[in-house]
Structure 1
């Protein structure tokens, strides 16, 4: 392996095209990074649709582990992925991650027992932190002038996933069961490997020292994993249950220990001095909170759409999965189109103002959705309004991070944003189910949710958005990579 250069940012040459104009090579490069990044979102949709098939095939009551295993492995590995990308170059790490992801999904698809399915999903979890590197890679391989628009397009492309993945999931699972979904993910991840290998250049190394803080990585990753697991299981175990409290206590203790471990480490896995800077802490926090709402709320709205409509018992809309996929096209088009539009004008506008507008519109949209969600027309109108704001959020969150960290710190910033989204997502989901269960009726062991529960789920999204909006007002002016990254080292 090539030794690390004394000046890590000079390990590879800068992009050949530096005039800031799009060309075919840069478009292909963007696709090569966006495909594997948004495949993670598609995998979540396909996995959710395949869960019932897994349970019926293997007659297991532990099917929650089908998705949880991948999430926990991904959370545990994220700190290591961030550091390895800085040490050895992001392309090498991304290739290893996609290879393991394809192998894991193929193993799960071939599995003849449930435990072997979980082994495959655990291996596939190595692919989970890909987004921690791909957004950071944009800053390394694109001309400085295109870093912000390329990051915005990468983020908003999640709207395309929302358009096609529900239809694809229904076709695969209905035709071939869970194995069809997993084989598709294996093939799509193998394609991601080929795209990265052929189209993405090696990125500079941003770590001056070759040492690795394994203890710090295990403590941080383990602590976050324990928190995500404890929050995720708290709703089924009960929040006062000893198991829930035990996992949460372990997670908090591990994070406290991590700060002491990092202070004494000669090769810290995360640079805490960067994270202590107020602009960085604010950008990561508001980016994590707002993106959590943008990604989590549509999934929770599926419960409203698919649960049956039984007067006095269940306030669901009673749609089929296919009908829900057709209706959701409207708000996913809004999300994608908004992100693409804003990417064209980032060079002329203050991203902070657009960001605050997006978070505010998202909060207003989900506030209205809490009041108006009883039929197709109401849900389309309120969701389109909320996703108008969400489109700005998912496209501008990477831009916020770019504006508060240096090029050498980009991997750390993008990775921490990913970790916060996982943690906040677990907390928001747990809170949503707490509201649902507080307004539910149990019949023959099945909980049916009443209208007040769905209303509070939407209002929870609005409340979290408002918190993000208030914090966003304190973000100082952002640095422009076109000016900062173009300076000589």
Structure 2
């Protein structure tokens, strides 16, 4: 591994990679203020317009693990620059779109750039001094949440007071600026897995399996959970991913090393990531609706999209503040302890929501607490992963962990969507989610945060050369593999 960069250079690297993560998150939340207007804007049906959201999810799920593996093979800096190209191109395509097909294409291109986050986290292991590694990982890892929290009110303000195309022109400029910073500030570190082959069948198999799984999960509510197409997709996902797993175990240079991924420390971290992703996304679905529901319901707060985004923005700011503190906690007590604390803080936020959901101030406090826990948890998970995998697999392993988080958010979206659609009231001839539906959704989010904490408790200590979770060095001494794992 190359010698760590000087402090000034390392600071520029961390800032650039954090900005890249924030940019990727903003791309995901960019169209949220436009959801209700998309059918009219694009001259299409509501169901067709929904693909503007789904396309980014599907393409990102397929590309993130592939980009991570390519980062290990050809270099992380090179792949960061490659990821910036579809982010810029996709934004320009969306800005120029007047119909649904080019908009979906542009959103798919934006999804291709989502691999920036795991690449950036893995690169930190190569260039940041050991004493700053935990806090740097925490900040860059939490940047997706930070970007989501801050991007929503910004996008809402632009959509309300300017032409919607300005959103995409702005995102194109931001992605281009990130590419320039990567070019000048990110060092070119030798690839850890140089000389190995890229697993093309593994990439195709994983992509096909994930598309079937996520399409079935994300569209199940629209198509019907018992419909032939939904059941067919879910069965196909099981078959294809099962065959993919057998292939990965037999090929000499797998896309994802399932033997490494199957180590208890890595496996349990990824399992906890699914539940943390679900718990994080539950609040992002419920809180904006509570803020914007009409006051006539008795529980809605009647806020505009812009106002609701501003009420939620302090949560994103708090995540930015908490992330470096989480890195210090990791240095002092280990990433496992930080992950447990983060999950418990998320659960505490959901507990508060039962008493505070009746006011905008209360929901702001809930967002602050939940996002503080997300900041702690999101910073700890990559540190756990990178302390447990070989240097040649860091980007691929982080890509897979990012995929697990995304899987959690997708499942969370489907489950919360079912709860809100089944527990309803009728007001003025309109069917709306009931207060009990929102309370139940928040209880589910809190319950799954507790599940993630329980899984984190079971993560074994790292036992190699005297290193364990109670010391400050796991993320900084990653070459040592866990004994007996």
The answer to whether residue 110 in structure 2 is matched with residue 124 in structure 1 is yes
Q: Provide Cα deviations, 1:370-425, integer angstroms capped at 9, x if missing partner.
A: 35412223323333333332231122222222232232231122111111112121
After TM superposition, give the deviation of residue 171 of structure 1 in Å: 2.7
The farther-off stretch of 222-231 and 257-266 is 257-266
Alignment of structure 1 residues 81-96 onto 2, 5 Å: 81-96=67-82
The size of the alignment, in residue pairs, is 469
Match of 1:459 in 2: 443
Alignment of structure 1 residues 278-297 onto 2, 5 Å: 278-297=264-283
Alignment of structure 1 residues 15-26 onto 2, 5 Å: 15-17=4-6, 23-26=7-10
The answer to whether residue 470 in structure 2 is matched with residue 481 in structure 1 is no
Find the partner of 1:156 among 136, 142, 157.
Answer: 142
After TM superposition, give the deviation of residue 445 of structure 1 in Å: 8.5
Match of 1:251 in 2: 237
After TM superposition, give the deviation of residue 278 of structure 1 in Å: 0.8
Find the partner of 1:167 among 136, 143, 153.
Answer: 153
Match of 1:108 in 2: 94
After TM superposition, give the deviation of residue 107 of structure 1 in Å: 1.3
Match of 2:197 in 1: 211
Match of 1:377 in 2: 361
The farther-off stretch of 381-390 and 130-139 is 381-390
The answer to whether residue 187 in structure 2 is matched with residue 193 in structure 1 is no
Q: Provide Cα deviations, 1:160-196, integer angstroms capped at 9, x if missing partner.
A: 4355423321232124433111111111111111111
CA distance in 2, matches of 1:68, 1:304: 23
CA distance in 2, matches of 1:49, 1:181: 10
CA distance in 1, matches of 2:364, 2:32: 22
Match of 1:437 in 2: 421
Q: Provide Cα deviations, 1:203-242, integer angstroms capped at 9, x if missing partner.
A: 3312254322211111112101211111000111111111
Contact map agreement 1:50 1:177 (CA 8 A) in 2: no
Q: Provide Cα deviations, 1:93-133, integer angstroms capped at 9, x if missing partner.
A: 11111112101110121123221122222222211222221
Match of 1:6 in 2: none
Find the partner of 2:170 among 169, 184, 187.
Answer: 184
CA distance in 2, matches of 1:158, 1:250: 31
Find the partner of 1:347 among 328, 331, 334.
Answer: 331
Contact map agreement 2:71 2:396 (CA 8 A) in 1: no
Stretches of structure 2 lacking an aligned partner (at least 5 in a row) = 468-473
CA distance in 2, matches of 1:364, 1:181: 35
The farther-off stretch of 114-123 and 82-91 is 114-123
The answer to whether residue 93 in structure 2 is matched with residue 99 in structure 1 is no
Q: Provide Cα deviations, 1:261-282, integer angstroms capped at 9, x if missing partner.
A: 2233233211111011111101
Stretches of structure 1 lacking an aligned partner (at least 5 in a row) = 1-8, 18-22
The farther-off stretch of 40-49 and 384-393 is 384-393
CA distance in 2, matches of 1:387, 1:107: 32
Contact map agreement 1:370 1:456 (CA 8 A) in 2: no
Find the partner of 1:30 among 11, 14, 18.
Answer: 14
CA distance in 2, matches of 1:190, 1:445: 47
Distance 1:101 1:444, change over 3 A: farther
CA distance in 1, matches of 2:152, 2:64: 27
Contact map agreement 1:51 1:66 (CA 8 A) in 2: no
The answer to whether residue 453 in structure 2 is matched with residue 469 in structure 1 is yes
The farther-off stretch of 256-265 and 452-461 is 256-265
Match of 2:56 in 1: 70
Distance 1:299 1:40, change over 3 A: farther
CA distance in 2, matches of 1:409, 1:210: 11
After TM superposition, give the deviation of residue 24 of structure 1 in Å: 2.4
The answer to whether residue 395 in structure 2 is matched with residue 411 in structure 1 is yes
Partner of 2:302, secondary structure, is coil
Partner of 1:347, secondary structure, is helix
After TM superposition, give the deviation of residue 486 of structure 1 in Å: 9.7
The two structures have a TM-score, normalised by structure 2, of: 0.90
